[in-house]
Amino acid sequence: MDITPGFVGAIGNTPLIRLNSVSDETGCEILGKAEFMNPGGSVKDRAALYIIKDAEERGLLKPGGTVVEGTAGNTGIGLAHICNAKGYKCLIIIPETQSPEKIELLRTLGAEVRTVPAVPYKDPNNYVKLSGTIASEMENAIWANQFDNLANRRAHYETTGPEIWQQTDGKIDAWVTATGTGGTYAGVAMFLKEQNPDIKCVVADPKGSALYSYVKTGELTTEGSSITEGIGSSRLTSNMQGVPADDAIQVDDPEAVRIIYQLLQKDGLFMGGSVGINVGAAVALAKQLGPGHRIVTVLCDGGSRYQSKLFNRDWLAEKGLFPPA
């Protein structure tokens, strides 16, 4: 019999989906790792599991303890699910600018949720720094610290990367994805480069993030802004330090929205905003490489968590973004 041992056992081993519309357009095979099919609904289930396992193994998290994290949503959702499955409490600090769907889902899952103003990382009241401060003042609590906790990228080095390698029989030309914490990009890039140094590893980045500039020039500078949530960064996290990056591609909001609606209308895939950045970058990379190449990216989460924004035409119109009819 093939029986999965609970919620935790269902994390990972997601399909690799050929994205037909963009593959046919570019002449490259563009594949999306279907991380929205994890039981908690996003790629962040992997990092959440490894962060909790690491804390358990090191004796930092004891029965009845609390997991505290500052998150844009998906890592918090994964942590809340796993805390329920393992008998821990969960406290989430989240910027008030994040979609109401994610905030309400966290509360439905039983997490204590504190919304805070969205301020830059340098501000001591930034949601990430605030979560660390709160955790340090609690008994029997850990700070998940997803941005600088290397258990995050190890999750992808040990699971996501090997899965992609096995699913493609090692026949892969490029890996491209956006980064928030850096865990997914970094872990997979590190694994794939060990298998074949010729695989091109490319950072996808929205406007307003400094990572595109960093890869291109070595300096962290930003311009513009983006409606996408949970990706982009003004700093180099521990998870991204020492990680191979052959190039970077910047994708603006109009292109991300166009891609999101194309995936919905032509491929039947109802995806979140970061997928627009990922697939938009994969399309741009396919045009650079030319036909006949195989490119892998990530389908991070589904569109239902962004219904009130990304799939609300009035909201998009206010932002000057107009999806195709």
pLDDT in tens, 131-149: 999 999 999 999 999 999 9
pLDDT at 100: 92
pLDDT in tens, 65-90: 999 999 988 999 999 999 999 999 99
Catalytic residues: 44
pLDDT in tens, 91-116: 999 999 998 999 999 999 999 999 99
Hey, where are the domains in the chain? 6-37+159-318, 44-143
Q: What is the pTM of this model?
A: 0.96
pLDDT in tens, 253-284: 999 999 999 999 999 999 999 999 999 999 99
Residue among 11, 86, 92 nearest 56 (CA): 86
Distance CA 107, CA 1 (A): 36
pLDDT tops 80 at residue 323 = no
Fold (CATH) for 44-143? Rossmann fold (3.40.50)
DSSP string, 199-215: SEEEEEEETT-SHHHHH
pLDDT at 127: 94
Pairing of strands 141-143, 66-70: parallel
Assign domain 6-37+159-318 to a CATH class.
alpha beta
DSSP string, 19-36: -HHHHHHHSSEEEEE-GG
pLDDT in tens, 218-260: 999 999 999 999 999 999 999 999 999 999 999 999 999 999 9
Pairing of strands 29-33, 16-18: antiparallel
pLDDT at 322: 84
Distance CA 221, CA 39 (A): 36
pLDDT in tens, 1-28: 889 999 999 999 999 999 999 999 999 9
Helix-helix angle 100-108:74-86, to 10 degrees = 10
Same CATH fold, 44-143 and 6-37+159-318? yes
Q: What is the mean pLDDT of residues 161-167?
A: 98
Partners of 210 in beta bridges: none
Judged on CB neighbours under 10 Å (0-12, 13-18, 19+), 177 is: buried
3-class secondary-structure state, position 116:
strand
For residue 219, count other CB atoms closer than 10 A to its CB. Answer: 8
Angle at 10 between CA 9 and CA 11, to 5 degrees: 95
pLDDT band for position 315 (50/70/90)?
very high
- Cα R_g (the chain), whole angstroms: 19
